[in-house]
Amino acid sequence: MRFLILHVNSFCCTITTKGRSKVYEQYDDPVTRVEETLVVLASVERGDERAPDLVAQRAGIEIIKLATQLKVTTVVLHPFAHLFGELSAPEAAIDVLSRTQQELVNAGLQSYRTPFGWFNTLQIDAKGHPLSRVARIVTAES
């Protein structure tokens, strides 16, 4: 899994239209709006399919470590297939993202996950400190 974590003052994702994938998640509210959060733009890769629990656990560890360091209690997981990896199957991506979210919840963080399979508009008010943009790659092998 590849991800870019942004420490933000505010984040808003508004679903606009169905994406190219035949697999997509239903949603109740087309808008996800969160203040003072970590936004995790995440891309699940083909190799992650071999060990989804381990990848989710390792992703959770990295996200929790940064959240603790920054004293942030809220995290938004946002599917983001634009990180130039070899993408997993959509069903596997949803599974790994769901497992990662559960890792965050188990650690006591409030967690949101934007629905998979949709185009959307993003409004991001990012902070500007040394840890406000952190990129990570986690795999079952690492």
pTM beyond cutoff 0.85: yes
- Say if CB 76 and CB 32 are below 8 A apart: yes
Domain boundaries, given as residue ranges, for the chain: 2-17+39-137
Q: How many CA atoms lie within 13 A of 91 on its CB side?
A: 0
Structural fold of domain 2-17+39-137? D-tyrosyl-trna(Tyr) Deacylase; Chain: A; (3.50.80)
Positions of the chain with pLDDT lower than 50, given as ranges: none
Q: Residue 142 has what pLDDT?
A: 61
Q: Which residues of 90-119 are buried (b: 16+ CB within 10 A; e: fewer)?
A: bebbbbbbebbbebbeeeebebbbbbbbbe
